[in-house]
Homo-oligomer: A and B are copies of this chain.
Amino acid sequence: MAATRKILELNAFDMRAAAGLDPDVANLVARRRRVFGSASMLFYTRPLNLVRGEGAWLIGADGTRYLDAYNNVASVGHCHPRVAAAVSRQMATLNTHSRYLCEIVYTYAERLLATLPRRLSNIVLTCTGSESVDLALRIARAVTGGTGFIVTENAYHGNTLAVTEISPSSASREPRNPHVFLVPAPDTYRTGSSEVGPIFAANVRKAIGAMKRKKIRFAGLVADSIFSSDGIYPGEPGFMAETIANVRKAGGVFIADEVQPGFARTGRMWGFERHGLVPDMVVMGKPMGNGYPIGGVAVKPDLLETFGATSGYFNTFGGNPVAAAAGLAVLETLEAENLQANALEIGAYLLTELEAVAQRFKRVGDVRGKGLYLGVELVRDRKSKKPDRAATTRVVDMLRDRNILVGIAGPHGNILKIRPPLCFARDHADLLVKGLSDSLATLDSTVEG
């Protein structure tokens, strides 16, 4: 996958190398390489050897504490005691498949569905986001009779065979499935906030037209509302509305991939809420169980019924009692710790602070995002807006040397991806901002010196 492969090109550890590493780390790298092969990707030229996690922190074998501004799976915080306790309790009580009755599963499904628009009143539980997107594609094909899907140019939606085909960021070296049509992401940095809505709508309309000319029936549009791997573009509230209206007019469905923006990350429970939309399906994954593998597809009942009439679906362990316990504990934690409000508040604070950093370093072309999903785009110069991949790699490594973890997004690998656990606090934000600012200063002095 390009999203990861690009990072691999940039700043991943070369599995064939071991020189200069701490002997314990070198030993683990060798063991890893033996079992997983050389293609298995490891972050950083000096890989982290982790032994513990707590809140926004990951802790290394040597006691180093890393501030985690990257992980969205442990979304309510690493090893959250409420989730760990719920999983432990349920693991010791009952864990079986979904063909028997088990109350906790329905309690969870009810609470989860209560967070969604009323029309999305059914849910199919799976084990992963990839399984969920894959199922959503099957449902979309069944209800529309179509096979043509539209996604953005650098989208990533998961890892199954079918989902890889709608994930151009990970399938860049494979032949493209001719039923998959790509549109540019709504790049607010290069085209301006007010224009992306009409441009995006026009591009989707064009893709629907191209599909028609090739006699491919339109099935739907798959998008996460923050355009995560394209480069983090939340855009103005409502900008997707025209596009989605067109999708429906053309007979397609809108599948909202909420694996990234969902579960309060953007300061709302769901990313699509910012656009005033009701998707036909909502796909959930990663943060749903704070690390316990669980995913789901929320769907309008008539769509599920149509699918069920021609196809079958059974997921042995989708919606097992332990997954439900984990999911329930996540919902409870979001509420008890007010994490949605925290994402909004700390996200806004962090955005303001990053904008201040941008004032001081001309390398920073743009700072954007929503809630606790922010992007910092590094460019060669602000006029050409030419992506600066090399500087981005350097900054990620320099932050790692300062024990701060961030990622990279975008097709040019020049956007710092800041996506911390939702328990991120003001002092965590301050540490991150200081680390970034120091790194940029060092980079300037190195280059200029």
A residues with CB within 8 A of B: 1-2, 4-5, 25, 28-29, 31-32, 34-43, 47-53, 58, 71, 73-74, 78-79, 81, 83-84, 87-88, 91-103, 105-106, 109-110, 113, 121-124, 127-131, 134-135, 137-138, 159-162, 164, 170-171, 173-174, 286, 291-293, 301, 304-305, 308, 310-317, 319-320, 322-323
* Residues of A contacting B: mostly: mixed
B106 touching A134, Cβ below 8 Å: no
A79 touching B100, Cβ below 8 Å: no
Task: Assess A96 versus B291: contact at CB under 8 Å? Given A101-B47, A106-B32.
Answer: yes
- Residues of B contacting A174 in the complex (Cβ-Cβ under 8 angstroms): 310-311
| Cβ contact of A128, chosen from B4, B113, B131, cutoff 8 A | B131
Task: Assess A317 versus B301: contact at CB under 8 Å? Given A53-B94, A106-B35.
Answer: no
Task: Assess A123 versus B43: contact at CB under 8 Å? Given A1-B314, A58-B96, A73-B97.
Answer: no
B106 touching A28, Cβ below 8 Å: yes
- Residues of B contacting A122 in the complex (Cβ-Cβ under 8 angstroms): 35-37
| Cβ contact of A79, chosen from B40, B93, B138, cutoff 8 A | B93
- Residues of B contacting A135 in the complex (Cβ-Cβ under 8 angstroms): 159
- Roughly how many angstroms separate A168 CA and B31 CA in the complex, as a whole number? 40
- Roughly how many angstroms separate A313 CA and B37 CA in the complex, as a whole number? 12
- Roughly how many angstroms separate A49 CA and B106 CA in the complex, as a whole number? 12
Q: How far is the CB of A257 from chain B (nearest CB, A)?
A: 14
A137 touching B159, Cβ below 8 Å: no
B35 touching A113, Cβ below 8 Å: yes
Which B residue's beta carbon lies closest to that of A162?
Answer: B161
B293 touching A127, Cβ below 8 Å: yes
A1 touching B312, Cβ below 8 Å: yes
The winner among A39, A88, A113, A160 for most chain B CB atoms within 10 A is: A160
Give me 7 A-to-B residue pairs in the complex whose CB atoms sit less than 8 angstroms apart, sorted by A's number.
A49-B102, A51-B103, A52-B93, A52-B94, A74-B96, A134-B161, A174-B311
